[in-house]
Amino acid sequence: MNVMAAHAMHKEILFTGFGGQGIVLAGMIVGRAASLGDHRESTLTQSYGPEARGGACSAQVIIADRPIHYPYVRHPDILVCLSQGGYEKYIPMLKKDGMLLLDHDLVRPQGEWKGTTFTIPATRFAEELGRRMMANIVMVGFFTAVSQTVSVQAARDTVQALVPKGTEKMNLAAFDKGHEYGLAVLKGRRKKESGEKDVA
């Protein structure tokens, strides 16, 4: 395997929540941004049955530098949860060195998984910005900042292209809110890590 291949990206991402929270749209934004904006390979598969309308809903996105043969997530690198049910159902699949993203007002993590976790009050932020249903877009902004699997430009452009006409401005504000919060969280962690090293 050459150096390029060794560093070739292959990320499996699982978005989960209730039907109606915009889980599929969140997956669509990330998948499409990676494909059309960042020119990587990406696939999106999604809940389609009655679960997409109220029950436990999921969207599976794979982003890679090489063709994606099997389009389903087997070992998620990133799990994004907007509901307790989604968290409980999919946390056993998450890789040990994976990344967990939560709306911490909606999901209470419990159990054995102790990997990298990032939390955001996405739904509360969306409410403050005027529409609770933009929690998914806040989360996409947060995801873009902390996961670094899609570029900000691509994600932002895709939000603008996919949200309902007339709501672009408020959705971009929601995206930016999540993104800025994510950058602040990352900065805080880096500071803490370097502080700990200094002490050591």
4: its two tokens: 């390029």
The single residue among 14, 25, 26, 28 that binds another protein, judged by CB under 8 A, is 28
171, 163 contact by CB (below 8 A): yes
Q: Does 9 bind another protein (CB under 8 A)?
A: no
In the region spanning residues 61 to 100, those forming contacts with another protein, defined by CB under 8 A, are 69-72, 74
Nearest distance in Å: CB 67, another protein: 8
Nearest distance in Å: CB 42, another protein: 7
Q: Does 14 bind another protein (CB under 8 A)?
A: no
Give the CB-side neighbour count of residue 194, counting CA atoms within 13 A.
5
Q: How many helices (H) and strands (E) does the chain have?
A: 7, 6
Instruction: List CB contacts of 48: < 8 A, sequence separation 6 or more.
Output: none
**Which residues sit opposite 12 in a β-bridge?**
62
Q: Does 36 bind another protein (CB under 8 A)?
A: yes
Contact map string, positions 38 to 67, toward another protein, x by CB under 8 A: ---xxxxxx-xx------------------
**Range list of H helices, 53-151:** 84-90, 122-128, 135-147
Q: Does 164 bind another protein (CB under 8 A)?
A: no
**Residue ranges in contact with another protein by CB under 8 A:** 28, 31-32, 35-36, 41-46, 48-49, 69-72, 74
